[in-house]
Structure formats: structure tokens, C-alpha cells
Amino acid sequence: MNKIKVLLIEDDRSISNFITATMDREGYKIMHALNGREGLSLSTSFCPNVILLDLGLPDMDGLDVLQKLRSWSDVPVIIISARTKEQEKVSALDLGADDYITKPFGTGELMARIRTSLRHSHAQTPGHVYKTLDLEIDFEKRLIRLRGEEVHLTQIEYQLLTLLAENSGRVLTYSYIMNAIWGPYMDNNNQILRVNMANIRRKLEQNPAQPQYVFTEIGVGYRMRENENGAIPAERF
């Protein structure tokens, strides 16, 4: 059986030792780069299944590494960083990062994020139905059911919900969603997005203040609970 290959790009040896020990224990094959240039080189020779990328590298900013990676590769990239500013997270996600973990983090959280990224990248025959808990979205029939009852959404609400469902488990930034739904010339004020998301939550959530389906990543964007059926093809409109 081939081991899942993880490339870690991290200059802090204590963190890299912790992650390496975790990956070894979980049965993953790990390669470690101490700087961005070495990481970019290994990303081509090692052919990893997932990359763990620090932003504070000694030779170049991690965001530059991410941008270079995304120019030729769609391998899942999870940012591991001590940077906590919301704009840093937004920038990383907008540049194509699949996830963002703030240091310090535990073993359980790290492994869960890796498994989610791998499930997204390994889905070979995605279904046309999103299903999680009591919510079901049939993309072909354009039907939404909650506990077996049909839910009626406006066109914009439907587009928002299906966009999140297609990317379930991933954080979509406010700017990404605004551009996808309203186009690149829409005002940057995301109030219209917040209003529509509040309406969606009122229709789906038993308690909108404690959502089960659509979660807010404060200052960054929205994330939808992962699809139990796997990935969904992007064929909304």
C-alpha cells in the first residue's frame, strides 16, 4: 500500500519535529523543507499528496511560495502559521490555500484538516447530491430538503448555498463569494452577502446563533459542513 506523502515547509525545528513525529505515527511519509526555495523544489521531485506551509520562512514569504505553487499545481495546501490577522488568512485563502491553521494547534485538529483536504482531492466520481445531517441538496432537480421537507430559497440564496455546498468543508472568503455570485464589479461592501446568509440560516438552522450547516469564519468568510457524499461538481447555473 502506497503511503500518503506530506511535504512540510517549516523553518521552526521544534514544530517540524512535532509534525514529523505525528505523520510517522499516522503512517504518512513526510519530507521536510527548511525554506521556500527548497520546498518548491521538493514539491516537484517528491510529488506530495498534501503540503503543510508556514508563512514566516527565512528566504521568502509563504504567500509567495503559495502563489508559485498555484501557478502549476492544485495539490492541497494547508497553511500553518502564527499569523493571526484576518487579512493574512483571507490573502492565503484567496491565493488558493485549502485551509489555514493558527499555531499552536493540536494533533487532532491537524490530522482532521489533512483528512478533509485529501478527501476533496481524491474524490474521483463526485455525486450530484449534497447530504449532511438532515439537509439534502439535489443539484440536478434543484431541490433542497430539510428533515424531508422542501425548503424554498430565493435565486440568490440558492446560488449562495450551492456554492458553499460545492466547496463544503472549505472556507470561502467574502471576496470570493461576492465575485462568484455578483461579479467582479460589485461593491466591496459585503452587507448584501450578510443579509442573504442570515436569511439562509433562518430557513435552515434550528438555532441560527449555533449553526449546524453554515459556519462563519469571523473576518474571513463562510464554511459549510462537509458533504457526506463526497465532492460536488461545479455545475450550479
CATH of the domain at 143: 1.10.10.10
Q: Is the peptide bond before 76 cis (omega within 30 degrees of 0)?
A: no
Binned at pLDDT 50, 70 and 90, residue 205 comes out as very high
pLDDT at 122 over 80: no
Please check whether residue 175 lies inside any domain of the structure.
yes
Domain with 117, as residue range(s), is 5-123
Does 149 lie in the same domain as 174? Answer: yes
| Domain end call among 123, 158, 188 | 123
Contact in structure between 145 and 151 (CB atoms under 8 Å): yes
Residue 51 Cα distances to 54, 58, 216, angstroms? 10, 18, 25
**Exposure class string for 152-191: b at 16+ Cβ within 10 A, else e:** ebeebbbbbbbbbbbbbbbbbbbbbbbebeeeeeeeeebe
Please check whether residue 235 lies inside any domain of the structure.
no
pLDDT at 118 over 90: no
| Domain end call among 123, 158, 190 | 123
pLDDT at 63 over 90: yes
pLDDT at 125 over 50: no
Average pLDDT estimate for 77-87: 86
Does 183 lie in the same domain as 98? Answer: no
Window from 102-111, 122-131, 138-147, 169-178 with minimum mean pLDDT = 122-131
Q: What is the pTM of this model?
A: 0.62
Please check whether residue 237 lies inside any domain of the structure.
no
Please check whether residue 215 lies inside any domain of the structure.
yes
Does 119 lie in the same domain as 9? Answer: yes
pLDDT at 115 over 80: yes
Does 11 lie in the same domain as 113? Answer: yes
Does 134 lie in the same domain as 81? Answer: no
Please check whether residue 154 lies inside any domain of the structure.
yes
Range list of H helices, 154-190: 155-166, 174-182
Does 50 lie in the same domain as 150? Answer: no
pLDDT tens digits along 160-180: 999 999 888 888 998 888 888
Contact in structure between 7 and 43 (CB atoms under 8 Å): yes
Please check whether residue 236 lies inside any domain of the structure.
no
Q: Give the pLDDT confidence score for residue 188 in this predicted structure.
A: 67
Tally of domains within the chain? 2
Does 22 lie in the same domain as 114? Answer: yes
